[in-house]
Structure 1
Amino acid sequence: MTTNRSLAALIGLALLGGCAAGTEYRRPALPLPAAFHNAPLIVEPGGRPWWRDFADPMLDGLVARGLKGGFDVEAAMARVDQARAAAGSARAARMPSGSLDGSAVRTRQSLRAGLGQIADYVPDFDRTQDSFELVGGASWELDLAGGLKRGREAAVAELEAAVADSQAVRLTVAAEIGDAYILLRSAQRRRSIAVDQAAAAQKLENIVRARFVHGAAARFELDQSRASTAAISAGIAEFDQAAQAQLARLAVLAGGLPDSVVQALERPEPVPVAGFAAMGLPADLMRRRPDLVAAERRVAAGHARLGVALAEYYPKFTLSGLLGFQGNDAGRLFSGPASVVQGGLGLRWRLFDFGRVDAEVARAKGAEREAIAQFRNAALRAAEDVERAVVAWRTAREREAVHAEEVRAATAACDALDRAYRAGHVSLAELVEAQRRVLQAADALALAQGDAARATVAGWRAFGG
């Protein structure tokens, strides 16, 4: 009777402990403003992928290659598979487990050790013994304190974090491909302008050289024109290097590019243009940004891991059972006298471990606080990314408008000088200089257009695609 009361008391304590092994999870509040400081327009995002807004089939193909064959994406999906397996293992830990064991052993007993020393005096003692066994066993840990439940919650949260991480990798790969593609097209466009600039500079240098030969120009004027031509020629080489660097970057992001695609990319094309990213409120970042989803899920996992640690304060009970057959005669193994039946209730309680459970709980609390801090910091950085992308896009668009006006004015001036030159009112040198100013303005415009396109990609990336 006393034993029954003690057992009931232990089980009752464990049931009470089940209420204390952690609390239900609540998502931490985020220190986000009600609206973005730069107040971008609130636009309902479309249903198609953001890179389709650039209307560039080559870019579409590159992004498709990167999302399908990129090694970053493949590694992220492998991490999802690992997390899914861990979640399955945590789920299985809450279920009963069973096993089947069998053996057939023949032993020749030593007469100089153990029972053999006594059996040596027994007439007709058979030193060779057979032993057969076939036993099925089962066990089930009663999750009274909720430790296994919290472990399952942690594993599921980590799986959800891994899935969100894989989505973040896909977003990053697509954005990086878009950025590299824009840089490639921008370098190609600016190289084309630089080639025209070099031709104009060479033409002006030839004029100055002719004037210098005839004593109509000073030596420093010839040196200046030669230096200008050399500087522009060096810029062409820099644009070539930049284009090759972006080709290599695209090859890495896409998991390799066939020669036909590389050849197509080497042919200059215009810089793709698209409208700015669909924006909303800072609160929408939690829904749109997969990296924030992953960070929040890691907070949930840390909270559940704290519950696992707290459950160690309480006893653990395990039900076990065994059913099978044991005997020395294989012919009579499956008979009533050879049957074995066993059932039991196990208890494990870490009462005296010199503070190990306290240390585990303290470590779990620290890990949860770290995850919360990282989550909130990630949210603030996400809002910062949006603000910076908006400012960069607006600045680039303002520059684009200014340089477009500059190109228009420089072109009009060049046309006027061309008419004046044909009428004999200005020199060829003045006309060539005007043409060079047009090309310089065109280069500045191309740079601003590329920056605006890159800011568009950054905006989509900042707001979660």
Structure 2
Amino acid sequence: MLTLVLCAACAGVTLPPQAPVPPQAFRQAPVGADAAELTQWWRHFSDPTLEEIVAKVRRDNLDVDAALARLAEARALRRAASADLGPTVTGGGSAVRNRSSAEIGVGRVSEQFHVGFDAQWELDVFGGRRAALRAAEAQQVAASYDLADVLVSATAEAAQSWFDARTAQARETLLEAQLMVLERSLALAQARSSAGLVSELDVYQAQTLLAQTRAQQAALAQGRENALNALALLAGESPGYWHERLSERAPAGPAIAAEGAEPPELVYLGPWVASLPSLPAAGIPADVLRRRPDVRRSEAQLAAAAAQRDVADAARYPSFPLSGSLGLTALSAGDLWQASARAWSLAFAPLATLFDGGRLSAQLEASEARLVQSFAAYRKSVLVALGDVENALLTVRENDQRLNDLRQAADSARASVALALAQYRSGLVDYTVLIDTQRSWLSATDAYVLQQGQNATDRVRLYKALGGGWPAETPLEDGSR
């Protein structure tokens, strides 16, 4: 659908059978996507910090700066190609003095003065220069979509890095609360061992589990630091730029029951990584292809390759340059402005290549091969875009269900710990049962918080796959972000 018009420019070129035809609908999603909803999708997370980060990244990202420079280059090259369609006019002047010697000892001096204008223009009989202009225009459009693609990627990477940092912060907060519960369990085991009710084995087991759990703090801190450093790079800043301002905004920790409460309980659902927005409607596949800047860029590059093929084809035919001059020529500076000093010329000099060893034919064959490459790249971009959306939709749906299951598991594990603590105090179970329930609880609660972060990044990937993050109705040829 997107290449039917472009393929008309490829006459005489052998292309692969046909472009992939998008399906009528995605298997995993409803239709009816709202373009405005996708343009600034990060606002749907209701996170002011994320909005601050995205604004900074879209303004100062170095990849975006490079894409803007590429767009400026493409605009300049288009203007240069447009100028080639018109005549070239140059102006100049000269003053020449010659001395010759006709006889020994006798010298003759002659002078000549000239000012004027020269003009050159080549008739574009076979459309080579017009094709070059079409190629430059297509490259400018491709550069604008390249800028959009960089914006989409940089915005998504910023959100993913922020949610990685939030996940690490939430897991650190949760770990601190879990350590409080394990410390109380250790104190309980020590008290019962001192009273002679249990052996020291219970104390050693409690100390082992506490130390193993505390050892996770370093890995979580490292993950948080790495995510914040990645955010700094995306924002064009040195490592450490975000640390102070973002570390103060860690998720609120879970509530712990007062010291000595029976039994100590953990409200594990406190540290939310993100407020998960509802699943966006994907729309029909054809709309997604129009929104995806990488697909639009490949489409423009295909148009440029088709125009370059026409340039190479036109180069095999004769050229028809016109040239002319208008000026003043005199033997003295004083006579330069007399009517007799006026001079003009007009020349028409067709030029054709009679033999070049097959160079022009080889260049045409190479341009046709590049056109086929561009067509294959375009087809691949379409298939990749459709696959990205299907995979992202499936992942979001499956992980949303997984999050619900993990919440139930964490809830059951918390209840098991509370029950095991009460039974251990009463001497109904040994410490092995308590250790097992605590380990299950630690694993279940951490998996739940980790899945929260995963579900947030899953939605970011879905927004990116749908082409969200740029105003798809117009190319960003003005350099806006």
Task: Report the TM-score, using the length of structure 1 for normalisation.
Answer: 0.85
1:151 counterpart residue number: 132
Matched, 1:305 2:287: no
Conserved in 2, the CA contact under 8 Å of 1:286 and 1:292?
yes
Q: Report the secondary structure of 1:333's partner residue.
A: helix
1:322 counterpart residue number: 325
Q: Report the secondary structure of 1:256's partner residue.
A: coil
Cα distance 1:400–1:32, how it changes in 2: closer, same or farther (>3 A)? farther
Conserved in 1, the CA contact under 8 Å of 2:205 and 2:435?
no
Conserved in 1, the CA contact under 8 Å of 2:232 and 2:242?
no
1:9-20 map, 5 Å: none
Deviations 1:6-48 (A, max 9, x none): xxxxxxxxxxxxxxx9749999953244156642122422525
Deviations 1:29-80 (A, max 9, x none): 5324415664212242252511111011111111111111111111101000
Q: Compute the displacement of 1:382 (Å).
A: 1.3
Amino acid at match of 1:34: P
Matched, 1:93 2:95: no
User: Which of the numbers 41, 44, 48 marks the counterpart of 1:57?
Assistant: 48
User: Which of the numbers 293, 296, 310 marks the counterpart of 1:293?
Assistant: 296
Conserved in 2, the CA contact under 8 Å of 1:23 and 1:307?
no
Q: Report the secondary structure of 1:347's partner residue.
A: coil
1:201-280 map, 5 Å: 201-208=182-189, 216-217=198-199, 224-256=205-237, 261-267=242-248, 268-269=250-251, 270-272=272-274, 273-280=276-283
Unaligned runs of 5+ in 1: 1-20, 110-115
Q: Compute the displacement of 1:204 (Å).
A: 3.5
Take 1:243 and 1:63, find their aligned partners in 2: how far apart are those partners?
18
2:374 counterpart residue number: 371
User: Which of the numbers 187, 198, 205 marks the counterpart of 2:168?
Assistant: 187
1:79-158 map, 5 Å: 79-107=70-98, 109=99, 116-117=100-101, 119-120=102-103, 125-127=107-109, 129-158=110-139
Q: Compute the displacement of 1:151 (Å).
A: 0.5
Conserved in 2, the CA contact under 8 Å of 1:396 and 1:449?
no
Conserved in 2, the CA contact under 8 Å of 1:43 and 1:280?
yes
Matched, 1:42 2:23: no
Q: Report the secondary structure of 1:47's partner residue.
A: helix
Cα distance 1:22–1:443, how it changes in 2: closer, same or farther (>3 A)? closer
Conserved in 1, the CA contact under 8 Å of 2:193 and 2:203?
yes
Amino acid at match of 1:92: A
Cα distance 1:46–1:419, how it changes in 2: closer, same or farther (>3 A)? farther
Q: Compute the displacement of 1:419 (Å).
A: 6.3
Q: Compute the displacement of 1:250 (Å).
A: 0.6
Take 2:444 and 2:364, find their aligned partners in 1: how far apart are those partners?
65
Amino acid at match of 2:136: A
Cα distance 1:235–1:35, how it changes in 2: closer, same or farther (>3 A)? farther
Conserved in 2, the CA contact under 8 Å of 1:36 and 1:387?
no
Conserved in 2, the CA contact under 8 Å of 1:22 and 1:310?
no
Q: Compute the displacement of 1:307 (Å).
A: 0.3
User: Which of the numbers 68, 72, 78 marks the counterpart of 2:69?
Assistant: 78
Amino acid at match of 2:406: H
Conserved in 2, the CA contact under 8 Å of 1:27 and 1:296?
no
Take 1:456 and 1:134, find their aligned partners in 2: how far apart are those partners?
70
Amino acid at match of 1:271: V
Q: Report the secondary structure of 1:238's partner residue.
A: helix
Q: Compute the displacement of 1:311 (Å).
A: 0.4
Take 2:427 and 2:456, find their aligned partners in 1: how far apart are those partners?
43
Q: Compute the displacement of 1:436 (Å).
A: 5.8
Matched, 1:170 2:159: no
Q: Compute the displacement of 1:131 (Å).
A: 3.1
Q: Compute the displacement of 1:261 (Å).
A: 5.0
Q: Compute the displacement of 1:407 (Å).
A: 2.5
The farther-off stretch of 153-162 and 348-357 is 348-357
Take 2:88 and 2:71, find their aligned partners in 1: how far apart are those partners?
26
Conserved in 1, the CA contact under 8 Å of 2:327 and 2:343?
yes
Take 2:335 and 2:373, find their aligned partners in 1: how far apart are those partners?
63
> Percent identity of the aligned residues?
31
Q: Compute the displacement of 1:153 (Å).
A: 0.5
Take 2:359 and 2:35, find their aligned partners in 1: how far apart are those partners?
54
Matched, 1:31 2:14: no
Amino acid at match of 2:93: G
Q: Compute the displacement of 1:167 (Å).
A: 0.2
Deviations 1:125-177 (A, max 9, x none): 344x4432211011111000010011111110011000000000000010000
Take 1:348 and 1:28, find their aligned partners in 2: how far apart are those partners?
39
When the two chains are superposed, the root-mean-square deviation of aligned CA atoms in Å is: 3.0
Take 2:32 and 2:458, find their aligned partners in 1: how far apart are those partners?
17
Conserved in 2, the CA contact under 8 Å of 1:201 and 1:225?
yes
Take 1:394 and 1:22, find their aligned partners in 2: how far apart are those partners?
42
Cα distance 1:168–1:24, how it changes in 2: closer, same or farther (>3 A)? farther
Q: Compute the displacement of 1:431 (Å).
A: 6.5
Take 1:456 and 1:407, find their aligned partners in 2: how far apart are those partners?
23
Unaligned runs of 5+ in 2: 1-8, 252-271, 469-481
1:441 counterpart residue number: 444
1:3 counterpart residue number: none
Matched, 1:387 2:378: no
Amino acid at match of 2:212: A
Amino acid at match of 2:273: V
1:308-457 map, 5 Å: 308-416=311-419, 434=437, 437-457=440-460
Cα distance 1:67–1:329, how it changes in 2: closer, same or farther (>3 A)? same
Q: Report the secondary structure of 1:175's partner residue.
A: helix
